[in-house]
Every structure is written in structure tokens, then in C-alpha cells.
Amino acid sequence: MTLSLYIHYPFCLKKCRYCAFNSVSDAPCSPDEYLAGLLTELEQRCEMPEKGSAAGTLYFGGGTPSLLEPSQVARIIEAAAKYYALAADAEITLECNPGAVTSGKLAAFRAAGVNRLSLGVQSFDDEFLAVLGRAHSAAETMGAFRTAREAGFDNIGIDLIHSLPGQSLAQWQRELSQACDLNPEHLSVYGLSIEEGTPFALLEEKGALLLPDEEESACMYELAAKVLAAHGYEQYEIANFARPGFRSRHNSGYWLRRSYLGFGAGAHSFLRRPEAGLRFSNTEKVEDYLALVGRGCLPTVESRNLTREEAMAECLFLGLRLTEGVSLEHFREEFSLSIQEAFGAACADLFAGGLLEMRDGFVRLTGKARILSNQVFVRFI
Ligand code: SF4
């Protein structure tokens, strides 16, 4: 059984105006103090993985983990190898802010064992970057991408956001074409979502955010799928596209309900044990996290065993995010009943409405349902 590991680094150069992630720009501790907390937790939890598990992926997310020094990243990789049997061919991803790296640092990350970069590009337009409150420019993105290639990274993913305030379809098309010009191995494409408690939510409340409407937003999504397919990218998940052989192994584990352990303030974990699964999460506040691990306690604040019904629902609303869908055979093997037996009424409605289809032993979203996926998922909850 393969295990995935996630390391949360909750510090950023500045807080983006749309961001609701667990991240702060004014760190209450030094990077070394936070690193010490992470190393302690990595050692504390090593009793927990399933028997015989080995880590197949390690993902540094945030926040802005590229603010870590390469030597600090190396120490975490060493700890993952020591306590979780990190595989020799493990996918090791680092989320990277284009404004927070230098050529020396990128080369040192590569030497430390990082073999995949996820570059938080979001837009190639300086005006949109300013609107979003990002701490980098389009020129820095181009520089970071080129430098990452020179440093030996042959697996680079970039993130883009569409449906930005005032964005037209033509502007989005330009973004896509600039992204394709860089020729990354992987692209994640998200529509801007307005999250409670962010500066964008306040602006929206005041009617000061000119967002594309639902129809325009759907057109942007469809355009992305079309343009990226024309450039040889396979859409393997609602928002993710990859060259053959370059799907994110780490994120695929989330959609397939594989076990993962998250370390750091606010990190979430999931273990396929007991039967239906256990979900737990760490305290979000950095000070509380450090205090707990410093006292030798696990920083877990919430923990819940799933019911069989919840596990079945998760299997569908996570698995249906994947283009290939959910294997009928695997569902039956895991839960001893068919998807139709478990969700008869919902399935009948969704098949009749043309939102779900069954093919080659899989149930999957239809093309039109990808834009309406939340309407589908809610039927299984
Ligand atoms: S860089 Fe990412 S985590 Fe940090 S504030 Fe911006 S969106 Fe949030």
C-alpha cells in the first residue's frame, strides 16, 4: 500500500487578495523553528502508517514552500526517507512562487531531491497579477521557468486562474497560448473562486468586482480544454491536464482515496484504516502547532472515523473528478454492492439528465457535466 506525504509551509511573501488557504505573511517564528516542529511531527507520526506502507510521493505545499532553504527541504526529505520509507523513485514536488526563487536555489532544490516543481503562475499579465495581489511579475515567471529547466527540472506544472475580474475570453486565450509556449509537463486550470473572509469577498459584497458571469466562465473552461487538447495535453481530472506520463501522482492519490499523512499547521490526513477510513487534521495556528509538538503531543485537533455511507459518497465525488471515472468493479469490491444499489435514485436522475455515463466498466461525468460537477457531487452527499 502506497502512502503519500504532504508538508505544509504556511508562510508567504504577502497575502494574495483571493487566498483562503492557511497561510500568513507575518510569520510568528523563524523558518528554523517551524522546520524543527515539522521534523518533530514527522518522527511522532511514524507509528501511524498502515503496516507495510511506503511513501511514494512527498509534496511541499503552502503557503510558499519555496521560501524554505534547500538545506531545510533536504532535511525533510531525509526524515521522510527515515520514518516513512520514501521510495527511491518517489515523486517529490515543491510548490514554487516565481518571485521567491533564484537559479542557485532551484539547482539546490533539485540536488536535494526535488524532482517536480509546481509553479504558481496564475496569470501572465502584470495587471491581473496586481489585481490578484500576487508577489511576482510575468517576467519573473518566465525567468523562473527557464531557470528551472536549466537546473534540470524535467517535470514542471503550472497553475493558471481564469474568470478574473474584467477578464475577456480573448485575454484568457492569450494566457493559454503563453502557457503552451512554455511547454510545461502539467497544467492546473482553475476558475477564480471568491472565498469568505478574503479581500475579494468584501469587494464582491460591495459590487466592486466585475467578474465574468457563469456562461462566460464556462466558455473559458471549455476553451482551456480545447486549447490544451490541441497542444497534446490529456485532461485527466476536472481541472488538471498533463503530457502522457506526467499526471500528478500525489494529487491522483487524493482522488483515488489513497492514504496520506499531512504535516505542519492545518495539514489534513487520511488513512484507509479502519475499514471506511479515518480523516484528521492539525491545528491551523502556527503558534499552537509549535507549542503542541514542542510538548511532545500530536498537533491533531479533529479526527473522525468515516461511516461506510460517507466512504461510498467520497469514492464517487472524488473519483468522478477523474476523466476515467470510478471503476464499477473496484466500487463493488470495496463496498460489496454496486454503485446503482448504493445510489439508485441519484444515478437514475443523473444518467437520465445526461450528466453521468457508463462505459468500459467505469461510471464517469459526461463532457457537459464537467462544468456542472458540483451539481452532480451534491447528489451523493
Ligand atoms: S502565494 Fe498562495 S498561499 Fe500564499 S497568499 Fe498567495 S495564494 Fe495564498
Distance from residue 41's CA to the centre of ligand 1 (Å):
24
Q: Are 71 and 328 in contact (CB under 8 A)?
A: no
C-alpha–C-alpha distance, residues 78 and 114, integer Å: 12
Does the beta carbon of 62 lie inside 6 Å of ligand 1? yes
C-alpha–C-alpha distance, residues 155 and 118, integer Å: 9
Distance from residue 66's CA to the centre of ligand 1 (Å):
12
Amino acid at 148: A
Distance from residue 11's CA to the centre of ligand 1 (Å):
8
Which residue's CA is the closest to the ligand 1 atom numbered 6?
A: 16
Q: Which atom of ligand 1 is nearest to the CA of 122?
A: 7
Distance from residue 115's CA to the centre of ligand 1 (Å):
22
Q: Are 95 and 132 in contact (CB under 8 A)?
A: no
Which residue's CA is the closest to the ligand 1 atom numbered 3?
A: 63
Per DSSP (E only), the strands in 192-233 are none
Low-confidence ranges of the chain (pLDDT < 50): none
Angle value at C-alpha 359, between 367 and 328, nearest 5 degrees:
110
> What's the pLDDT at 46?
87
Q: How far is CA 117 from its chain centroid?
A: 13
**Number of H-type helices and E-type strands within the chain:** 15, 15
Does the beta carbon of 119 lie inside 6 Å of ligand 1? no
C-alpha–C-alpha distance, residues 208 and 377, integer Å: 31
Question: Any bridge partners for residue 358, and if so which?
Answer: 363
> What's the pLDDT at 51?
66
Q: Are 24 and 10 in contact (CB under 8 A)?
A: yes
What grid cell was written down for 148?
Answer: 528551472
Q: How far is CA 263 from its chain centroid?
A: 15
Distance from residue 14's CA to the centre of ligand 1 (Å):
8
pTM of the model: 0.96
Which tens digits make up the pLDDT trace of 226-282? 999 999 999 999 999 999 999 999 999 999 999 999 999 999 999 987 678 999 999
Amino acid at 82: K
Phi, psi values for residue 121, rounded to 5° = -75, -55
> What's the pLDDT at 1?
61
Which tens digits make up the pLDDT trace of 41-90? 999 998 766 666 789 999 999 999 999 999 999 999 999 999 999 999 99
C-alpha–C-alpha distance, residues 35 and 62, integer Å: 14
> What's the pLDDT at 53?
77
Domains of the chain: 2-254 (3.20.20.70), 308-380 (1.10.10.920)
Phi, psi values for residue 326, rounded to 5° = -110, 130
Does the beta carbon of 16 lie inside 6 Å of ligand 1? yes
Which residue's CA is the closest to the ligand 1 atom numbered 2?
A: 63
C-alpha–C-alpha distance, residues 266 and 146, integer Å: 33
Q: Are 116 and 94 in contact (CB under 8 A)?
A: yes
Question: Any bridge partners for residue 94, and if so which?
Answer: 60, 117
Q: Are 300 and 282 in contact (CB under 8 A)?
A: yes
Closest CA to 302 of 284, 319, 287, 317: 284
What grid cell was written down for 130?
Answer: 496586481
Distance from residue 337's CA to the centre of ligand 1 (Å):
42
